[in-house]
Structure 1
Amino acid sequence: MYTIIRTNSDNLDFQKLIIELDKDLAIKNGEINNYFAQFNKINLIKYVVVAYEANKPIGCGAIKEYGNGVIEIKRMFVSDEMRGKGVAGKILIELQSWAKELGYSKCILETGDKMIEAIGLYKKNNFVVIPNYGQYSNIESSICFEKTL
C-alpha cells in the first residue's frame, strides 16, 4: 500500500528523489538535457507530493503556478523498482486534486518524446496533447499536454 503526503520542496525525501530523476533525465535527454535542467529548479516549488511504501520514498511530483487559473505539473518521478505498479497514477491524481483545491482550473505539463511511459500515463489520465508552450515552443522533442480540472 502506498501513502502520499503533501509537502514542499524542502522535503529531504523529495530532494533525494529529484537527484535520481535528474540522473534518469540526463541519460534519456542526452545533449539537450542542460536546456531542460534550467527550468527544473525546485527551490520555488511550494506544492510537492511524495509517495511512500513502508516509509521508503518511492515517487514524487509537484505543481507550480503557470498563469491565471493554470498550474504546471513538474518533477514527476517513480523509482525504477516501483514503476508499472500504479504509483505515478496515484501521484498524478493527488496533484490534480490539490490543484483543484487551490482554485486552478487547468493543468499543463511537458514531457519528452522519449518518455514513452510518461506519455502513456498522461493519455490514460485524459490529458490531451497541445501545442508546445512557453520555453518548450521551439523544442521538437517536447510534447505538451493539458487537462481541464
Structure 2
Amino acid sequence: MITVEKSDPFSSESQRLIEMLSAELAAITGDNGKSNFTVDAMNGDRALWVLAKNAHGDAIGCGAIRPLTHNIAELKRMFSDRSVPGVGNALLTFLETFAKEMGYLELRLETRHINHRAVTFYEKNGYVCIENYGPYIGREEAVCFSKALC
C-alpha cells in the first residue's frame, strides 16, 4: 500500500530522497538536476511538495509541482526508490489531481533523452513531447513534455 501526502520539503525524509534523486540523476545524465530546482521554490501557495510512503510509513518517493504561469504548472523532483511497485504512478496521480484542483490546465516537465526510464514513464502516462521551454531552450540533452489536465 502506498500513500501520498503533502509534506515539508525541508524535512529529513524529503532531503534524503532529494539527495538520492540527485545522485541517481548524476549517474544517468552527468547532472544532478539541482540547478533548476530549489526547495525554496516550494514556498508559494500554488506549489506543492509530496512524499509517497509505504505501509510502514517510510518515505519511498517524492515529487512536486510549481507554477510556471497562471494556468501551467511544472512537475519537478519526481523520484521513487523503487522499493515498492507503483510509487511513480501514485505520485503522478496525486500531483495531477492536485494541479487540476488548483486550476492548472497543463503540466510540463523536463528530463534528459538519456533517462530512458523517465521518458518511457511519462509517455506511458499521456505526456507528449513539446518544444523545450524556459531554461531548457537550446539544450539538446533535454526533452520536455506536456499533458493537458482538462
TM-score (ref. length: structure 1): 0.90
Q: Distance in 1 between matches of 2:96 and 2:87?
A: 14
Equivalent in the alignment of 2:130: 130
Structure 1: any 5+ residue segments left out of the alignment?
Answer: none
Equivalent in the alignment of 1:43: 40
Please list, as runs of the form range in 1=range in 2, the aligned pairs for 1:6-85 lying within 5 A after superposition.
Answer: 6-30=6-30, 33=31, 36-45=33-42, 46-53=47-54, 54-82=56-84, 85=85
| Count of residues in correspondence between the two structures | 144
Whether the 8 Å CA contact 1:9–1:47 is kept in 2: the answer is no
Q: Distance in 2 between matches of 1:120 and 1:16?
A: 25
TM-score (ref. length: structure 2): 0.90
Deviation track 1:111-143 (CA, whole Å, cap 9, x = no partner) reads: 111211111111111110001111101111111
Equivalent in the alignment of 1:113: 113
Task: Using the TM superposition, give the Cα deviation of residue 78 of structure 1 relative to its aligned residue in structure 2, in angstroms.
Answer: 0.5
Segments of 4+ moved more than 4 angstroms: none
Q: CA RMSD in A?
A: 1.4
Q: Secondary structure at the match of 2:37?
A: coil
Q: Distance in 2 between matches of 1:52 and 1:78?
A: 10
Task: Using the TM superposition, give the Cα deviation of residue 66 of structure 1 relative to its aligned residue in structure 2, in angstroms.
Answer: 0.5
Q: Percent identity?
A: 35
Q: Distance in 2 between matches of 1:10 and 1:98?
A: 20
Q: Distance in 2 between matches of 1:123 and 1:8?
A: 29
Structure 2: any 5+ residue segments left out of the alignment?
Answer: none
